[in-house]
């Protein structure tokens, strides 16, 4: 019985996290539209590269990812500077550095080297939101002495 309860709690937490992550992205999408409508920036969600392998009807299909995920959003700020950022949500009290995949890290590093403004947008509990510069996030061990951040660590962002 303990295992069934544990499994049920894990399934429910997974569903809650998925819904919270989708809500977090909807807030970001609304913000991007706000900036676009005012001529401040043009930022788009990066589509996930996938290949459909079996149609299910009504616009649904089974697919697989064709390569590792890129950062979530890319665009241009007024004045011409590129902006690239990854969005992450957690219901826990900390955000691990390891939530960024090796491909996302590689892409954020390349864009940074080319002069883009690069960030990790972090949501804690859908209550506290931060725009952390990529250089701070990727070097959090040097800045905070550990490979995770807590909301109190990043209040400046």
Longest dimension (CA), the chain: 60
For residues 64 and 105, what is the distance between their CA atoms, to the nearest angstrom? 22
Say what the pLDDT of residue 68 is: 66
What is this structure's pTM?
Answer: 0.81
Residue 49's pLDDT is: 65
63: helix, coil or strand?
Answer: strand
The pLDDT tens digits of the residues spanning 50-97 come to 667 777 888 776 766 555 678 999 999 999 999 999 999 999 999 999
pLDDT, tens only, 101-132:
999 999 999 999 999 999 999 999 999 999 99
Q: What is the pLDDT of residue 69?
A: 78
How far does Cα 143 stand from its chain's mean position?
21
For the cut 90, the answer to whether the pLDDT of residue 135 exceeds it is yes
């Amino acid at each position: 019985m303990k295992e069934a309860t544990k499994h049920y709690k894990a399934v429910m937490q997974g569903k809650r996290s998925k819904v919270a992550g989708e809500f977090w992205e909807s807030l970001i999408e609304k913000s991007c539209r706000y900036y676009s409508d005012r001529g401040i920036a043009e930022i788009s969600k990066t589509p996930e590269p996938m290949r459909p392998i079996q149609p299910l009807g009504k616009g649904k299909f089974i697919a697989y990812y064709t390569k590792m995920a890129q950062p979530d959003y890319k665009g241009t700020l007024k004045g011409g500077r590129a902006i690239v950022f990854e969005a992450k949500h957690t219901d826990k009290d900390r955000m691990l550095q390891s939530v960024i995949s090796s491909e996302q890290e590689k892409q954020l590093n390349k864009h940074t080297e080319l002069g883009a403004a690069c960030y990790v947008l972090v949501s804690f509990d859908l209550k506290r939101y931060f725009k952390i510069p990529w250089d701070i996030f990727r070097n959090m061990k040097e800045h905070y002495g550990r490979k995770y951040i807590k909301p109190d660590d990043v209040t400046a962002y």
